[in-house]
Amino acid sequence: MNKSNPWTALALLLLVCCFTVAAAASAFRLEKWEQVVKTETGEVRVLRGSDSPSKRQGAGAGSDRTNSIHIGFIFMEPKSLFIPQYLDSSLVLFVHRGEVRVGWVYKDDLVEKQLKMGDILHIPAGSTFYMVNTSKGQRLQIICSVDASESLGFPPYQSFFVGGGRNPVSVLAGFHKSTLSTAFNVTQEEIETILGSQTGGPIVMVTDDVAAGKDRRRGKGDRGRRGLLLDFDSEEEEEEEEEEEEQRWSWRELLENFMIGVGGGGSGDDRRNAKKGPVKSPHPYNLYDRDPDVKNKYGWSLAVDEHDYKPLKHSDIGVYIVNLTAGSMLAPHVNPRAAEYGVVLGGSGRIEVVFPNGTAAASVEVAAGDVFWIPRYFPFCQIASRSGPMEFFGFTTSSRRNRPQFLAGARSVLTAMVGPELAAAFGVPEEILREVVKAQSEAVIMPARPSPEPTRKEKEREEKMERREK
């Protein structure tokens, strides 16, 4: 009479309950593993959060943040380097095992920290960082949250390698060689040396010196302490962690919409009239009444944010204006916090924009009246034509201090990071990297490179090519 045994019935009931609970629990377990990086010396795996941000149409960013977080697992063998990169997502790193030295750009300076087991560290979206193992013979494991609420919408996250070469491809590679030659003030050959060496993937083996960070301590005075850009205001701004609703777009839309108003008519001369609308209080703010943030022989630029003009805070919009002399360049840079809209007020020039994978997204000629759009995080530069100055003005989609990150010039991410890690990232000797990074004495706005005259080596190569073509 087992059937009627009440104990058996109870046991069955319990069993059923257990299964139900287990089934429910498995629905809460994230199982969509993705291998994002895999090299001989390391690996990154990501588990996507239960909902990707692109699905959260219309949801106020931040209101349901839990849905837009992915969980990343980073494994790095001893003596390995995670090549300098920035992401379209912010990270909170947690050191699960081993030790790691992390260098990253914080408020325009390079900061380095030695993390040990149990430490956590926040790396903001758009901030360039690298990681070096420092644990003796122990595999390093980091668990991190990948907060995609500021992402471009391509989960799990989009990385932009600053260091690199052939693999990973540095975003620098997306600019014309001649543009880089001007920005860095070195020959195109030297550029090719820097950008053609690394083949090891995003996580590479490094020498003991790099792993131990020896050079770092020795050369302390030489690096790190420099403001990257526009430290025109030493007052420490409290970072409001406001969430910004980002535009969603696809690569295709990007290509199609780069020039949103080519030949939009209207010469730059209208601008002053346009400004004098019937604006009531609060008082307007005049761009021309203020000293530029950056000014040298080759041009000037200034940006107005909510700290300068409070009303901007309400609409969360920033304003900037740039004037470049003939042939000059606003060096390759990145806006870590905002998309940028620009209007060419006068003159003409060229704009280059680079995809995250280090290929050219656009290289477009612009003239007065043209309107351009640059997505957040995308590297780009503006170059005035040699025939005359180019003036452009525009808006950024954030009223917070933008802190553009420059990728070339005397105050750039590269000058801040130059050292054994960056050399290892590019796969070249440190002296060679230093020569290239230091050749440019100007910051932010660079002169045209004087001689389109090729060097002897370049000439010889050209002649060889010509002969081959015949």
Ligand X SMILES: *[C@@H]1O[C@H](CO)[C@@H](O)[C@H](O)[C@H]1NC(C)=O
Which of 242, 252, 46, 60 shows the shortest CA–CA distance to 155?
46
CA dihedral defined by 162, 165, 168, 172, rounded to 10 degrees? 40
C-alpha to C-alpha distance for 4 and 19, rounded to whole angstroms? 23
385 scored as a contact of ligand X (CB under 6 A) = no
Q: How far is the CB of 196 from ligand X (least distance, A)?
A: 15
C-alpha to C-alpha distance for 58 and 5, rounded to whole angstroms? 57
179 scored as a contact of ligand X (CB under 6 A) = no
Q: Mask of contacts with ligand X, 348-367, x by CB under 6 A? A: -------x-x-x--------
Which of 259, 267, 290, 302 shows the shortest CA–CA distance to 393?
302
Burial 52-73 (b: 16+ CB within 10 A, else e): bbeebeebebeeeeebbbbebb
391 scored as a contact of ligand X (CB under 6 A) = yes
Site size for ligand X (CB under 6 A): 22
Return the CA Rg of the chain: 26
CB 421 within 8 A of CB 204: no
91 scored as a contact of ligand X (CB under 6 A) = no
Angle between helices 188-195 and 177-184 (to 10 degrees): 100
Please report, as residue ranges, which positions from 16 to 35 form the binding site for ligand X (by CB under 6 A): none
Query: 187: which 2 tokens?
Result: 């020959």
Q: Which of residues 47 and 354 has its CB atom nearest to ligand X in the complex?
A: 354
Any idea which residue has 């260091």 for tokens?
Answer: 163
375 scored as a contact of ligand X (CB under 6 A) = no
41 scored as a contact of ligand X (CB under 6 A) = no
268 scored as a contact of ligand X (CB under 6 A) = no
Q: How far is the CB of 290 from ligand X (least distance, A)?
A: 12
137 scored as a contact of ligand X (CB under 6 A) = yes
Q: How far is the CB of 355 from ligand X (least distance, A)?
A: 4
Which listed residue (152, 440, 444, 445) binds ligand X by CB under 6 A? 440
Closest residue to bound ligand X by CB = 78
Which listed residue (136, 283, 297, 467) binds ligand X by CB under 6 A? 136
Angle between helices 430-438 and 188-195 (to 10 degrees): 140
Q: Which of residues 62 and 268 has its CB atom nearest to ligand X in the complex?
A: 268
447 scored as a contact of ligand X (CB under 6 A) = yes
442 scored as a contact of ligand X (CB under 6 A) = yes
Please report, as residue ranges, which positions from 276 to 335 form the binding site for ligand X (by CB under 6 A): 323, 325
185 scored as a contact of ligand X (CB under 6 A) = yes
Q: Which of residues 69 and 322 has its CB atom nearest to ligand X in the complex?
A: 322
207 scored as a contact of ligand X (CB under 6 A) = no
Collapsing DSSP to helix, strand or coil, 343 comes out as: strand
C-alpha to C-alpha distance for 374 and 335, rounded to whole angstroms? 9
318 C-beta neighbours (distance < 10 Å), count: 25
Report the interface residues with ligand X, using CB under 6 A: 78-79, 133-134, 136-137, 185, 211-212, 251, 323, 325, 355, 357, 359, 389, 391, 439-442, 447
